[in-house]
Amino acid sequence: MLNTVNHPGPDTTPLLIAHGLFGSARNWGVIAKRLSEKRPVIAADMRNHGGSPWYDSNSYDDMADDLAQLMDRPVDVLGHSMGGKAAMVLALKYPQKVRRLIVADIAPVVYTHTQMGPLNAMRGVDLAAIENRSDARAALGDLEPGVADFLLQSLDMKDRRWRLNLDVLATQMDKILGFPEVAGHFDGPVLFLSGGASDYVQPAHRPTIKALFPKARFAKIPGAGHWLHAEEPRAFTATAAAFLD
């Protein structure tokens, strides 16, 4: 069973949040708290991340099954990046469990970029030699702005370990960048919410999206990149809340 961080709220349809690669439920604390004003919010640590169990697989079928185990009634689901793909597979495999779906800056397609750079940077940190997070940040080397600070949220300084199953995430990277063949479609309301400065969701993806999610709607947060919820949390929260309500 996945580790979760629960934010109690009024007794309405709960919201389940699935984070992206190298993330955790804790990354969503501020947004989850704001959204819990009108609904219970459950933020999950995905498998091989945070406080959740480690497995040899990190496939979207398995991630969707993990999320389904958390649900004892239909819920709304919000997923970002890897979590967005897992949320899409969840809705396609278990449509009766999902009421509304928000997919944050990802499409149900195969991507050609890689996330091995940050992963190898974490692997390269000599955890026995660092004294504090500043040492760890320096050891991560030259990463894109904000990436090092984001990765360090998954560093357990007390036990000198990453709360990420780096070896499995490396071997499963092709699956994480891909998207499985899933039969059927999800007929519920879906919002594809993207960053205006991100190229993850393109016009060319819309036919594929519409085939799987006929009621898909599209919105963008101006100026935000792929980490739209971290870059523009107020706009992200307001847009998500308006859709869920």
What span, in angstroms and rounded, lies between the C-alpha atoms of 149 and 78? 23
What span, in angstroms and rounded, lies between the C-alpha atoms of 210 and 199? 18
Please say if 226 is a catalytic residue: yes
Cβ neighbours of 19 (radius 10 Å) = 27
Active-site hit among 24, 36, 52, 81: 81
Active-site hit among 7, 19, 80, 226: 226
Q: H or E segment at 16?
A: strand 15-18
Q: In Å, how far from its chain's centre is CA 21? A: 6
Active-site hit among 126, 149, 167, 199: 167
132 to 114, 129, 135, 138, 236: CA distances (angstroms): 29, 9, 5, 10, 33
Please say if 167 is a catalytic residue: yes
Please say if 198 is a catalytic residue: no
Radius of gyration of the chain (CA): 17
DSSP string, 74-140: -EEEEEETHHHHHHHHHHHH-GGGEEEEEEES--SS------HHHHHHHHT--TTT--SHHHHHHHT
What are the catalytic residues?
81, 167, 226
